[in-house]
Homo-oligomer: A and B are copies of this chain.
Amino acid sequence: MAGSKPTLKPTEAELSLLNILWKIGPATVKQVHLTVSETQKIGYTTVLKILQIMHEKTLVVRDETNRAHVYAPADSQVQTQTSLLKDLVTKAFGGSTSKLVMRAIGDSTTKEEINDIRQMLDRLEQESKQ
């Protein structure tokens, strides 16, 4: 579409804040800082600054209605995961998704996870037969 952004790659710190927003939904800096502080020591203004930068980059949208701005991810978790995967496929797997998948499966997957994957393949097969 004309005018749409090419989905830029979040940095590591940005991704960790996005994870929180996907989890708890639209939130103020205070809420994000509180949540992220559960697992890592980080200053309030650092979180604020990162969210501001993400806003400039349009990685998040911001509701400025109230004094405490409310931030929400601009892209869905699925879109972002897809974009990160595509990037890794390109840069580390010579563009081959199946190579990535096979490496991922081959390494450290539990039996349950393998079953999940198999079921999804079955589902895909079903759909493609229609």
Using a CB–CB distance below 8 Å, which chain A residues touch chain B? Answer: 12, 15-16, 19, 78, 80-82, 84-86, 88-89, 91-94, 96-98, 100-109, 111-114, 116-118, 120-121, 124-125, 128
Contacts and interface: CB of A to CB of B under 8 A. Distances in A.
B117 A103 contact: no
A97 B108 contact: yes
A121 B111 contact: no
Which secondary structure characterizes the binding site on chain A? helix
A86 B92 CA distance: 13
A120 B103 CA distance: 10
Contact of A88 (B85, B98, B112, B120): B85
Nearest to A119: B102
Contacts of A112: 98
11 contacts: A19-B94, A78-B103, A85-B104, A89-B104, A96-B113, A98-B112, A101-B101, A101-B104, A101-B113, A114-B121, A118-B121
